[in-house]
Structure 1
Amino acid sequence: MNGTTPMINQRSPTYRLGYYISLFGAALILLWIGIFKFTPTEASAIKPLIENHFLTFFVYNFVSVQAVSNAIGVIEIIIALLLLFSVKFASLRKYAGIGMIFTFLITLSYLFTTPNIWKVVDGIPVTDFFIVKDVLFLGFGLMILNGKNE
């Protein structure tokens, strides 16, 4: 390949190690954050994100702040479990990838829909960096959706 795009040998030990570290790391973080969604602290923390988003602004009209957070937590836990079980059952990889792509596209869009999420610190625009990690998760979701990874 030209430029900085490498030829990837998916059978190499280094690639496989990196793939499994990414898979288990993503699953661990999704599981951890998913469990945290069941706490009142996290439910309150994500409220401004949810209520200012064009896809989710209305949900608090129907259910409580904690119920919304719980539902998001369940989705994150399911995706984590799909990732983990995809090690043994490759057919689950596609669903994990789709779940990751949708989840992280939505969470990344909060960067553009939530008022005052961007601040300027020492002349550099910054945001709550916990959302920025979702760029990596989105990329990994796209990788595993391909289905050729081992």
Structure 2
Amino acid sequence: MHAKNKNNDPNIGSSLGYYISFGGAVLILLWIGIFKFTPTEANAIKPLIENHPLSAWMYTILSVQTVSNIVGVVEILVAILLILTLKFDELKKYAGFAMCVIFLMTLSYLFTTPNIWKIIDGVPYTDFFILKDLMYLGFGMHLVSYKTV
């Protein structure tokens, strides 16, 4: 059963699936964003960032921890923007766009980071923590397509 929202659409903003995806996205962005302030995570993301053509330059002018802190701040700000969409529908497009940028970037690390892919027992294997971003990219695209009245 779906309660209709102000757009009279039973599928956007009112379904259980939407709120589960919403909560998951906020949780992941906040939790991982906060974790970026630790030296462990700063060092863990360094191989991803330093091998990407759009972000490698950052390490020439900033420390490993500062780069990670910037990424963390962006992730936390997007989580806050997402939370604000609960009150302000017109922010959904912006939150969705920001999510698309973040998760397209992280998914692109699968193609720019050396040795991220391995073959185990004949099956391609990667760090699956990045693959979860496919779902968040889809949720971001869903938000971008949201129509306000």
Q: What TM-score do the two structures reach when normalised by structure 1? A: 0.89
* Whole-angstrom distance in 1 between the partners of 2:72 and 2:24: 17
CA distance in 1, matches of 2:51, 2:81: 29
Which residue pairs with 2:122 in the alignment?
123
Aligned length: 140
Deviation at 1:141, TM superposition (A): 0.3
Q: Which runs of 5+ in 1 are unaligned?
A: 1-8
SS in 2 for 1:135: helix
2-structure distance, mates of 1:12, 1:79: 23
Measure the CA separation in 2 of the matches of 1:94 and 1:78. Answer: 15
Q: Which runs of 4+ in 1 moved over 3 A?
A: none
Q: How does 1:65-84 map to 2 (within 5 A)?
A: 65-84=64-83
CA RMSD of aligned residues (A): 1.7
- Could you give the per-residue CA deviations for residues 14-70 of structure 1, whole angstroms, max 9, x where no partner exists? x61110111111101110000000000000000000100010111101000000000
Offset of residue 12 of structure 1:
5.6
Amino acid at match of 1:74: V
What percent of counterpart residues are identical?
62
Report 1:69-148 matches (<5 A): 69-148=68-147
Structure 2 unmatched runs, 5+: 1-7
Q: Distance in 1 between matches of 2:9 and 2:21?
A: 14
CA contact (8 A) 1:38 1:69 kept: yes
Q: Which residue of 1 aligns with 2:27?
A: 28
Q: Normalized against structure 2, the TM-score is what?
A: 0.89
Partner SS state of residue 57, structure 1: coil
